[in-house]
Amino acid sequence: MPYFFLKIFFRILFAPYALNPIKGIEPSGERMASISKEYSLAEVKKISKALDGTLNDLILAITTTVIKKYFAECGRTDFTRIIMCCPVSMRQKGDYEIYNNIGTVPFYVPLTDNVIEGIKEVQAAVGYMRTSGEPLAMYYFVNSTTILPIFLAMPLIHWYASKITVTLTNIPGPRELFDYDGVKGHSIMAFGPGVGNLAGAIACITCSDNLKFGITMDKVNIPNPRKIMEMYETELDSLLASNLGF
């Protein structure tokens, strides 16, 4: 366990500060949000299978492709990779208690030109995570900050977040929508949490055999997150129109 903790520590220590079109200015704390249209989970899974990847691989490849294209639209083509943070559940199978039993792992991801080729690149970059002890090491690190005095914990969290561009999380929602006080729900969405001075978070949630994306971005850096969401929809619409896996 100490090996994995030190591995992550030195990765963050020597990483440059995240200064890019998504996180170029000190965040204001005021967030803007955008939600995608719904997609068929079964159809999206067919695409990931056709590309020899998992649903998580596909979501990550779409994200890295969108980020690279957004950077290019902002006139920045010099970025080849960023540090992203993804939560990894530490819960046992069948454990449905609501508590933060997760490890938030920072890792480098390549910025890819397109999803079809990019899925192999992200698999090569983060495939080791499936058997790595890093999520568990980060779980204990995050929990250890809760026992530190606030004047020590907050600078540590802000330093950690200053190296990360965005968080990305894939949330398996309920199989069926809930009824609230006799009113049937018609949709559900979740947003990734902010950590320290982190500028943005991207979430994907599945529910009732549907899938959708939600993003939150700090207003000072991304005043109109709908633009990024439209890029997500363009990538996914293009993949579905290509008839991959059908």
Return the C-alpha torsion angle 116, 118, 120, 126, nearest 10.
Answer: -140
Nearest one of 167, 206, 235 to 31, comparing CA atoms: 167
Q: Give how many domains the chain has, as a whole number.
A: 1
The residues that bridge with 216 in the sheet, in sequence order, are 33, 201
pTM: 0.86
Pairing of strands 166-172, 200-207: parallel
Assigned domain for 39 exists: yes
pLDDT by position in tens, the chain (length 246)? 677 767 777 787 778 887 888 887 777 778 889 999 999 999 999 999 999 999 989 999 999 999 999 999 999 999 999 988 887 766 565 555 555 666 678 888 999 999 998 899 888 888 777 677 777 777 777 777 778 888 888 888 888 888 888 888 887 777 777 777 777 777 778 787 666 677 788 999 888 889 999 999 888 888 889 999 999 999 999 999 987 765
Assigned domain for 246 exists: no
Taking residue 185's Cβ as centre, other Cβ atoms within 10 Å add up to 13
Assigned domain for 179 exists: yes
Assigned domain for 121 exists: yes
CB 27 within 8 A of CB 220: yes
Taking residue 217's Cβ as centre, other Cβ atoms within 10 Å add up to 25
What residues contact 63, with CB distance under 8 A and at least 6 apart?
A: 84, 168, 202, 232
Assigned domain for 162 exists: yes
pLDDT of residue 97: 56
Please report, for the domain that includes residue 221, its CATH number.
3.30.559.30
Assigned domain for 131 exists: yes
Assigned domain for 128 exists: yes
Assigned domain for 14 exists: yes
Range of the domain at 31: 2-241
